[in-house]
């Protein structure tokens, strides 16, 4: 069982994905295979991670159909001006003719760069990416892209978790039709905090599972990362319970009111 969020043109994206930063080489391949076997159908990689080939090989060896696995990759900011060339290299490494989501990994030189965004829209038009978006962009930078092209990113992938929770930023993203995807969901979060441990005990789950479920209650896509098989499985096992509105508010307050 999984939940999906619908992006542009009806593209469905599983709301829990598998992050692959620092997951490379033989161990990386085996870890990604483990994730696929555990039931993940959303794999997040990037050119700068240096593991697109491992992702592609793990997918091929899994026996799963390409259309059943959502693949994200990202353009390094240093590749501005070589967008299409970089995407083609990613596709060759992944062994596919398209990705499901292509992101600008960071604002190049801390600027929105509408010209790069136009290249992303062109790649989507050409069928090389089913959806396109950004990562680590501010709301103002997203507004600049929208003003220049009339097209909002499908996703903004940013750090998210109880310590980062920002209700205003989440609302601003939704107002612009931009879905939020959170990475580093456990960073700066004390999984031993009494709020998390008490909620976890009430549901018979772990504090980490509570944090991941909290993302889903907010409609935020989340990409936990682990190389431990037991945690890989546990991080996906968050669909059998729901948090109450009060529990969500208690977790929201762990990061302070914003």
139: enclosing H helix or E strand: helix 139-149
Burial 39-58 (b: 16+ CB within 10 A, else e): ebbbbbbbbbbebbbbbbbb
Beta bridge partners of 99: 129
Rounded to whole angstroms, the Cα distance separating 122 from 127 reads 9
The closest alpha carbon to 150, from 126, 177, 131, 172, belongs to 177
Catalytic residue chosen out of the listed positions 29, 40, 49, 183? 49
Task: Reply yes or no on whether 40 is catalytic.
Answer: no
Q: Which two tokens stand for residue 221?
A: 């896509």
Q: Which two tokens stand for residue 14?
A: 């599983």
Residues near 88 by beta carbon (within 8 Å), at least 6 away in sequence: 128
Q: Which two tokens stand for residue 111?
A: 């600027």
Question: Which whole-number Å values give the CA distances from 3 to 50, 64, 213, in the listed order?
Answer: 29, 19, 11
Q: Which two tokens stand for residue 160?
A: 């998210």
The closest alpha carbon to 155, from 141, 173, 138, belongs to 173
Rounded to whole angstroms, the Cα distance separating 199 from 213 reads 11
Residues near 237 by beta carbon (within 8 Å), at least 6 away in sequence: 205, 209
- Annotated active-site positions, please? 49
């Amino acid at each position: 069982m999984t939940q999906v969020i619908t992006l542009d043109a009806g593209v469905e994206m599983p709301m829990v994905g598998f992050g692959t930063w620092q997951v490379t080489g033989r161990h990386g391949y085996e870890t990604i295979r483990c994730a696929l076997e555990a039931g993940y159908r959303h794999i997040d990689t990037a050119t700068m991670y240096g593991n697109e080939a491992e992702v592609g090989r793990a997918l091929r060896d899994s026996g799963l159909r390409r259309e059943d696995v959502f693949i994200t990759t990202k353009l390094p900011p240093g590749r501005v001006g070589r967008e299409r060339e970089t995407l083609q290299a990613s596709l060759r490494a992944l062994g596919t003719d398209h990705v499901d989501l292509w992101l600008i990994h960071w604002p190049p030189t801390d600027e929105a760069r509408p010209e790069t965004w136009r290249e992303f829209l062109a790649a989507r038009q050409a069928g090389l990416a089913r959806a396109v978006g950004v990562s680590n962009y501010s709301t103002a930078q997203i507004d600049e892209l929208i003003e220049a092209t009339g097209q909002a990113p499908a996703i903004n992938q940013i750090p998210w978790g109880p310590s980062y929770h920002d209700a205003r930023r989440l609302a601003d993203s939704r107002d612009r039709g931009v879905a939020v995807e959170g990475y580093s969901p456990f960073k700066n979060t004390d999984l031993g905090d009494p709020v998390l441990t008490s909620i976890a005990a009430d549901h018979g789950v772990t504090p980490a599972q509570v944090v991941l479920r909290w993302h889903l209650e907010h409609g935020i896509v989340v990409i936990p990362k682990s190389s431990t098989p037991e945690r890989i499985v546990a991080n996906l096992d968050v669909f059998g319970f729901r948090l109450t509105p009060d529990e969500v508010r208690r977790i929201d307050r762990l990061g302070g009111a914003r």
